[in-house]
Every structure is written in C-alpha cells, then in structure tokens.
C-alpha cells in the first residue's frame, strides 16, 4: 500500500490546480488519471479548447467562402490544427504537474474504503493507495437518450467524437438546443454544413433574457440554421450514405437526412464504478457527489470538485472549486460556494452571447423595481469597424441603489466584456461608475459606456 498526504482522482481543472498547490507546499501528492489521452482533463482535450479552436477556424472559413469542397478541405485542416493544439497542451499539462513534484499515476481509481483506493493499471495490475485526503475530480460524460437506433447508428456522434471527424458532413442534425447544441450549430454552419437543431421543449433559450434570446434566435436563423422546437426524435435509421432522423413536431412527422447526428442533451457526473459507497461518500439523486458549501463530501477527509460535484459545468467553476478546497487546507477556510460571487457564462456563437446575473423578468419576479438599458450593437463604432453589427446589449439595474443586477450581451466580444460586469456586480458599484469610466477607443468595451448612458 503506497501512502500519500493527498490523492486526487481525475486530471480536471480543479484537480490539477490543487495538486500543484499542495505539492508546492511540501506535501506528498498523487494524481490518478484513467487515460493518457486525457492528461490535462476534459477542457483542454475534448471540450472548451478544441471546440473554441474550431469556432475560430469556422469563422475564418466562412469569411473565405467558396465551394463545399473548398470548405471541406479547410474543415479537415481545422481538425488537424485542433489535434496539434490539444496534443501540445496535454504534454504541457503533464510536464507542469510532474515538475511540481506530483506523482501522476495512469489508471482507473475506485474507493476500497474511507481512505483507500485501488487503481486498475493499464498492464492489468492493481495498485493500492492510501490518502490522508482524497479529492474527487472525475468530471462528467454525455447523456445518450433512449431513442431507438440512435446508439447503434454509425452516424451518431458526441461533441468529443464529432471533433474527430475529418470529413465535413453536408447535413448535421443536432439533438439538443443547449450550450453544446447551439455552439456546434454555429461552428458547423460556418464550416459549410446544413444544420438542424432539434429541441424537445417549446422555447428557445428559456433561461435567458427574452429579448436577447430572440435576437440570438433571429441571428441563427438568418445564418441558415434550422431550429425545430417542441420536436421529439422518434428513431434514427442508417442508410448507405446517411442516417435518417425521424421526428414528430406539432403532430406532424418529419424525416431529416444527416451524415452526422450530434447528441447534445446534457452531461452527467462520472461516479459510476467509483465505489463511493465503500468510502461513505453519498451521491445525490442525480448521481453527483453530494457536497456542502466547502465541497466536503459526507466522508471526512474527502472532497469533490468540478462537474462531478453536481454544480454548474464550467471549467472556471472547477478552478474556483479548487480555491475553496485550497483555502481549507492551506488558508483560512473562508472561501465557499456561497461567497464566490456572480457566475458569468458565454455561449460561443457567431457573435457570442454572454450573461451574468438576473434577467429583467427574474428581477421583477423577486419584487425588485428595475431600470433597463438596451443598445443595438450596430451603434458601437468598433462593431462597424469589425463588420460585426449583429446583436443587442442589455443591462438590468436596481432602481433604488443603481446597482447592476444583470448583463445580457449578444454581440462581438461579449465573452470578454461580460467579465467587467461580473466584477461590477461583485463589488456592488452603482452603474454610473461603469457609465463614466474612461474606455479606450475604438473598442467594443466603450459600448458599455453608451449602453449605461441609456438607462431608463
């Protein structure tokens, strides 16, 4: 039995960051990762970074235009570029941890008791480990709905496997209109595929501000993405060159041909086979590790971070989770999930949509009296310079205090600008501080001044 001060299961964002910090403080640390292709975790290998590399390549390709063959050639180059990028990052991530003194063990871990783990090694061997502290950072994986023929179809992809497809599909059907569904719709439409998104519920982006969601919807449709709502996929059937996706919408039957069918209906925490019950680590009814606001599990000395802990599935949440745990082990223990402030997010469409805080409706539902400002992106000089005039910026303000309650940005650089609003919300400054700030010119950021000058 090998003994460590700290053992991390999974090479995710939270795990690798915490591992480096703990090893740097002189502790004996092991990190267990089940796949050498996943050193560095989901984000850099199969999620955020490769998808945003494709997002960029797709926009460049759309600007160049040309025949389907031209576009398909550029798509294959984009996939090759993405592979080079992820391989380099994987290597860099491994080297960084090893040089920090973390022992990286390749194998699949499972609890055997409260502080003990077995690791199934690639050569078939088993290694037994004991840890003073154990941190679960095993991530999540895609849901696969029980649609007849879907699992068996050779045209079915997840976000991970689609990003390994070298041939640009002429027709792409996406099941699920959430983050992944809409982002991939935007990328593949730009690459030159004909994209249809099939969403089972009736609303488009139901959690977003209604005006901004309407602008996003219009933009996607103007770009040629077909959006089907209240549509139930009934079955998928393979043909020689394409699948047929049969669906029902408003009592009508439809059949869509697709060289690729992307399943993007959510992701569930990786707890299967982890043996949590043997360690006294309770799971929620959705299969996530149950944690408190300090990310402690129900077993003493065991924490969970990132997607597996059942919260928002973002890389920066996993990173922040590691800060919460680190503050207990190496700091004053003051950071919790309750005091990390507003959580912004971005959907990498073309242009992007980003949001932090409350929508106008959510604020009203809480009985708050609000002021609102709107600015069409076309009114910002830099948007004209960039030829990216699509979009709408909107902000929601508490009338009594002048504090910003929420920002909803759809337009060029929205994913960068939203971070300014996150800071303003957390600090609690009145909106006039951002309104009267000096911004460099010409930038999209100066649009914030114009937006806030329009508060009514």
Residue with tokens 């501000």: 209
Helix pair 414-427, 446-453: axis angle to 10 deg: 60
**CB of 177 or CB of 391, closer to ligand NAD:** 177
Residue with tokens 């502790």: 27
Give the C-alpha separation, 46 to 42, whole Å.
Answer: 5
Q: Is 199 in the site for ligand NAD (CB under 6 A)?
A: yes
CB atoms within 10 A of CB 339: 10
Q: Is 342 in the site for ligand FAD (CB under 6 A)?
A: no
Q: Is 134 in the site for ligand FAD (CB under 6 A)?
A: no
**Interface map 136-165 toward ligand NAD (x if CB under 6 A):** ---------x--------------------
In angstroms, give the least distance from the CB of 273 to ligand FAD: 6
Choose the contact partner of 316 out of ligand FAD, ligand NAD, none; CB within 5 to 8 A by kind: ligand FAD
Residue with tokens 């941190």: 135
In sequence order, what are the residues at sequence separation of 6 or more whose Cβ sits closer than 8 angstroms to the Cβ of residue 408?
Answer: 208, 209, 211, 212, 353, 355, 359, 393, 394, 395, 396
Q: Is 165 in the site for ligand FAD (CB under 6 A)?
A: no
User: Annotation-wise, does 360 bind a ligand?
Assistant: no
CB atoms within 10 A of CB 434: 21
**CB of 157 or CB of 246, closer to ligand FAD:** 157
In sequence order, what are the residues at sequence separation of 6 or more whose Cβ sits closer than 8 angstroms to the Cβ of residue 311?
Answer: 317, 321, 337
**Closest by CA position to 267, among listed 378, 171, 179:** 179
**CB of 137 or CB of 189, closer to ligand FAD:** 137
Q: Is 302 in the site for ligand FAD (CB under 6 A)?
A: no
441 is catalytic: yes
Give the C-alpha separation, 328 to 343, whole Å.
Answer: 22
User: Annotation-wise, does 178 bind a ligand?
Assistant: yes
Residue with tokens 């800071």: 423
User: Annotation-wise, does 307 bind a ligand?
Assistant: yes
215-244 residues in contact with ligand NAD (CB under 6 A) are 233
Choose the contact partner of 38 out of ligand NAD, ligand FAD, none; CB within 5 to 8 A by kind: ligand FAD
**Interface map 197-226 toward ligand FAD (x if CB under 6 A):** ------------------------------
- Report the interface residues with ligand NAD, using CB under 6 A: 145, 175-181, 183, 198-201, 233, 264-267, 313-314, 345-348
Q: Which residues are known catalytic residues?
A: 441
């Amino acid at each position: 039995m090998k003994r460590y001060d700290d053992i991390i299961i999974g090479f995710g964002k939270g795990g690798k960051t915490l591992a480096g910090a703990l090893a740097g403080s002189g502790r004996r640390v092991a990190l267990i990762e089940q796949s050498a292709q996943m050193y560095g975790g989901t984000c850099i290998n199969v999620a955020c970074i490769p998808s945003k590399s494709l997002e960029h390549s797709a926009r460049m390709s759309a600007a160049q235009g040309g025949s389907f063959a031209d576009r398909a050639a550029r798509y294959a180059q984009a996939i090759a570029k993405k592979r080079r990028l992820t391989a380099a990052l994987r290597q860099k991530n491994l080297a960084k941890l090893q040089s920090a003194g973390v022992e990286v063990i390749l194998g699949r871990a499972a609890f055997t008791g409260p502080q003990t783990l077995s690791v199934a090694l690639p050569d078939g061997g088993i290694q037994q480990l004991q840890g003073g502290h154990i941190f679960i950072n095993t991530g999540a994986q895609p849901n696969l709905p029980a649609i007849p023929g879907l699992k068996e179809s050779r045209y079915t992809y997840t976000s991970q496997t689609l990003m390994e497809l070298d041939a640009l599909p002429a027709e792409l059907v996406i099941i699920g209109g959430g983050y992944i569904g809409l982002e991939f719709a935007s990328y593949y439409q730009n690459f030159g595929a004909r994209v249809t998104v099939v969403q089972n519920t009736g609303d488009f982006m139901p959690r977003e501000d209604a005006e901004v969601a309407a602008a996003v919807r219009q933009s996607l449709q103007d770009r040629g993405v077909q959006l089907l709502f209240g549509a139930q996929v009934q079955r998928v059937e393979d043909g020689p060159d394409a699948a047929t996706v049969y669906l029902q919408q408003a009592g009508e039957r439809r059949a869509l041909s697709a060289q690729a069918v992307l399943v993007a209906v959510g992701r569930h925490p990786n707890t299967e086979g982890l043996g949590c019950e043997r360690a006294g680590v309770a799971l929620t009814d959705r299969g996530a590790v149950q944690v408190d606001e300090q990310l402690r599990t129900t077993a003493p000395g065991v924490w969970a971070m990132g997607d597996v802990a059942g919260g928002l599935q973002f890389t920066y949440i996993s990173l922040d989770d590691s800060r919460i745990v680190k503050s207990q082990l190496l700091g004053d223990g003051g950071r919790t999930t309750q005091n990390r402030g507003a959580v912004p997010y971005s959907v990498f469409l073309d242009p992007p949509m980003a949001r932090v805080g409350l929508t106008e409706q959510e604020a009203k539902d809480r009985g708050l009296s609000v002021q609102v400002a709107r600015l069409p992106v076309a009114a910002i000089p830099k948007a004209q310079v960039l030829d990216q005039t699509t979009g709408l910026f909107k902000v929601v303000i508490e009338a009594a205090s002048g504090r910003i309650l929420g920002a909803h940005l759809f337009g060029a650089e929205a994913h960068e600008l939203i971070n300014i609003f996150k800071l303003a919300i957390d600090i609690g400054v009145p909106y006039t501080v951002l309104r009267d700030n000096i911004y460099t010119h010409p930038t999209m950021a100066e649009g914030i001044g114009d937006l806030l000058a329009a508060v009514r």
